[in-house]
Amino acid sequence: MEGAREAFEAELHLLHAQGRLREVATRVLGEYGGEVLGFLANVTGSRDEASVVFSQVCEDLWVGLPAFRFGCSLRTWMYTLARNATHRARLEPFGRKRVAISDHPELLEVEARVRTTTLTYLRSETKDRVRRLREELEPDDRTILVLRIDRDMSWNEVAAIMLGDRVEDEATRTQHAAWLRKRFERIKERLRAMLAREEAARRA
């Protein structure tokens, strides 16, 4: 799996170097769109909101691709975009107009296909209790849980995503990764506390 992903990333790096950006965007969306949308659905707690944010991610992908320097993998970058877009969506609740990729029907087609199939697949899979716990957590906490536990990313990858485009230097990332580990422990403590509360309420 890792080998296949590395090979995929290497191929797209090559296409990127050749300036075949539309192809890169299409294939990145096809490959990672589903998992990023699944991630968004978890973090936003809403399929509709995830769908809107996903559009923003697609746009950001398209706009940012020419300047992307492969300082991280495209997959990590997609999650960075997704995390940033989620953040922006919270700050700008009325959203922004989508423009960039509408000129490229094949990109829109992939985006639509990802959205339709993934969201259909996601329907009715979340249990109420789990949803409640998720809603109690901060979006960033949810982000950390998904990336670390479900997506099995290294702490440095999680740090890269959480820091976004702000920091390129490895030392800062490593430092942030150490901080994230502590935060991860605190999230778990919070969840335990929530569960204890639930349990107490149920007994009462």
Q: What does the binding site for another protein look like in residue numbers (CB under 8 A)?
A: 3-4, 6-8, 10-11, 14-15, 17, 20, 23, 26, 30-31, 33-39, 41-43, 67, 69, 110, 113-114, 116-118, 120-122, 125, 127, 129-130, 133-134, 137, 142, 145-146, 148-152, 168-170, 181, 184-185, 188, 191-192, 195
Cβ 132 vs Cβ 140: under 8 Å: no
Residue closer to another protein, measured from CB, 100 or 167: 167
Residue closer to another protein, measured from CB, 39 or 59: 39
| Shortest spacing between CB 91 and another protein, in angstroms | 22
Cβ 142 vs Cβ 40: under 8 Å: no
Q: Tell me, what DSSP letter sits at residue 124?
A: T
Helical segments of the chain, H only: 2-17, 21-44, 47-64, 74-91, 105-122, 128-136, 139-145, 155-163, 170-203
Residue closer to another protein, measured from CB, 10 or 99: 10
Which residue do the tokens 């509408």 mark? 102
Alpha-carbon distance values, 96 to 56, 57, 110, 119, 149 (Å): 8, 12, 21, 22, 32
User: Cβ–Cβ contacts within 10 Å for residue 178, how many?
Assistant: 12
Residue closer to another protein, measured from CB, 88 or 183: 183
| Shortest spacing between CB 149 and another protein, in angstroms | 4
| Shortest spacing between CB 178 and another protein, in angstroms | 13
Residue closer to another protein, measured from CB, 96 or 195: 195
| Shortest spacing between CB 53 and another protein, in angstroms | 13
- Which helix (H) or strand (E) segment is 158 a member of? helix 155-163
| Shortest spacing between CB 97 and another protein, in angstroms | 25
